[in-house]
């Protein structure tokens, strides 16, 4: 798979089953959400956004931390359930937006991309990274959470998505974890205390992941103050097509 997954794919998915990823019922997802909220460095954010909010289960957890929170998703069917779930939170709003072709016209101090970036083609992923960087408030956080194993209909793995984001000079890592299917985590940096049950040394953790082949990764980023480095292609063309040697 190399093309971005389009709206029809997700509308069909939600038409077939209202909770296709078992967000409402899975103990694994519940533990992951608990971890996701626990590693947020601040108690409160003014304006949050969850890109690819689906039926709003993680959104309802993030709502505890945000004065205002916008959940965006490509699927109207998913958003109908998200709106119903989060009706009790006056600061939570939803919009049908297809990233990176569209993006809300405002800035955010908490930006969450959880289980979404591996659906984008390489080109759309690059554009989405730019949209997110351009709408990020100074002093805020960007949280990435993605499933690690290869999935046949994903364009990239979770690791590839996170590594590319970490190579982007506009961001620096505040905190990173790799967690296995039982939500046991390896902490990789930063001083944030996570509320997961246990943290493992590298070798122990790697053998757990190797055994199960399953797990996810969380990376908390903040703006570095540096600008985006132009791509190699851009550098090549901006220098001109001098091929004379
Ligand atoms: C696996 S769910 C993740 C839900 C939630 N963020 C979580 O971690 O529990 C991914 C969601 O991203 C949405 N999505 C996929 N491509 C998108 C795009 N280009 N723009 C906005 N949302 C998109 C899908 O409709 C789906 O609901």
Mutate to test the pocket of ligand 1, among 116, 124, 125, 151 (most ligand atoms within 8 A of CB): 116
As a whole number of angstroms, the distance between CA 131 and CA 125 comes to: 10
Chain mean position to CA 149: 16
**Residue 18 in contact with residue 75, Cβ under 8 Å?**
no
Tens-binned pLDDT, residue by residue, of the chain (245 aa):
789 999 999 999 999 999 999 999 998 899 899 989 998 999 999 999 999 999 999 999 999 999 999 999 999 999 999 999 999 999 999 999 999 999 999 999 999 999 999 999 999 999 999 999 999 999 999 999 999 888 999 999 999 999 999 999 999 999 888 887 766 666 555 443 343 333 444 555 555 555 555 788 899 999 998 887 655 554 444 344 333 33
What CA dihedral angle connects 131, 134, 136 and 138, to 10 degrees? 160
7-238: CATH topology is Rossmann fold (3.40.50)
- Residues with beta carbon inside 6 Å of ligand 1? 5, 10, 21, 23, 50, 52-54, 57-58, 72-75, 78, 98-99, 114-116, 119
CA 122 and chain centroid, separation: 15
CA of 98 to the centre of ligand 1 (A): 10
Q: Where are the domains of the chain?
A: 7-238
Q: What is the SS3 string spanning 172-216?
A: EEEEEEEEECCCCEEECCCCCCCCCCCECCHHHHHHHHHHHCCEE
CA distance 97 to 81: 16
Atom of ligand 1 nearest to the CA of 58: 9
> Which of 50, 73, 112 for a ligand 1 pocket mutation test, highest count of atoms within 8 Å of Cβ?
73
Angle at 66 between CA 60 and CA 69, to 5 degrees: 65
């Amino acid at each position: 798979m190399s093309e971005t997954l389009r709206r029809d794919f997700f509308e069909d998915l939600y038409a077939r089953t209202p909770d296709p990823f078992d967000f409402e019922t899975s103990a694994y997802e519940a533990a992951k959400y608990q971890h996701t909220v626990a590693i947020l460095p601040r108690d409160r954010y003014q304006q949050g956004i969850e890109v690819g909010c689906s039926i709003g289960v993680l959104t309802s957890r993030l709502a505890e931390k945000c004065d205002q929170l916008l959940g965006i998703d490509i699927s109207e069917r998913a958003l109908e359930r998200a709106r119903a779930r989060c009706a009790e939170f006056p600061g939570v709003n939803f919009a049908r937006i297809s990233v990176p072709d569209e993006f809300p016209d405002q800035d955010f101090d908490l930006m969450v991309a959880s289980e979404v970036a591996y659906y984008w083609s390489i080109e759309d992923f690059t554009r989405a990274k730019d949209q997110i960087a351009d709408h990020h408030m100074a002093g805020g956080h960007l949280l990435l959470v993605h499933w690690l194993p290869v999935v046949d209909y994903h364009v990239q793995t979770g690791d590839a998505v996170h590594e590319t984001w970490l190579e982007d000079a506009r961001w620096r890592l505040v905190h990173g974890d790799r967690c296995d299917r039982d939500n046991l985590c390896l902490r990789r940096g930063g001083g944030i205390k996570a509320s997961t049950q246990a943290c493992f040394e590298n070798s122990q953790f790697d053998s757990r992941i190797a055994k199960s082949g399953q797990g996810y990764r969380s990376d908390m980023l903040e703006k570095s103050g540096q600008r985006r480095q132009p791509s190699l292609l851009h550098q090549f063309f901006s220098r001109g097509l001098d091929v004379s040697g």
